[in-house]
Amino acid sequence: MAKADRTATMSRLHSAARLARTALAARLLAHGFYAGQDQIMLALDREDGQTPGTLADRLGVRPPTITKTINRLQAQGFLDKRASNSDARQAHIFLTDSGREMIMAIEKSVKKTEKQALKGLDKKDQKALYKLLARVEANLSGAEVMVEEEPEAEE
């Protein structure tokens, strides 16, 4: 592949990621969420009671960023911060009942954005794109490609 083609591919990848995030952010804002807050909410939905450090590691952000976002979500009534039973200096973050109720709205926003992004791609193309993006992620993270069964593609 020619050098110009490689930079064009990176440009397209960057542009698509930015546009996807912008479209999702607009949907989430309608529910009172700002960029990045959805990821914390979904991570806690998968495993409630994580520490801020664990959340930061799993989401690939710096601890101060997580702390600021957690504080905002706590002020909105979606999260609760509790001291650890074994170490009072360590906090664990939990979804509140209000936070749990918002998970469905977040998931619906993600699904609608995915549907918009994949419009016009058949299931075969969606599956190929999923695998290609998994390869790109692995290449950029230095990890091995771990492509399990991808989520059900929509047409």
42-82: pLDDT as tens digits: 999 999 999 999 999 999 999 999 999 999 999 999 999 99
- Is the pTM higher than 0.85? The answer reads no
What's the CA gap between 90 and 94, in Å, rounded?
Answer: 13
Predicted local confidence at residue 155, as pLDDT: 46
What's the CA gap between 75 and 110, in Å, rounded?
Answer: 23
Confidence of residue 2 (pLDDT cuts 50, 70, 90): low
User: Cβ distance 93 to 107 under 8 Å?
Assistant: no
Judged on CB neighbours under 10 Å (0-12, 13-18, 19+), 96 is: middle
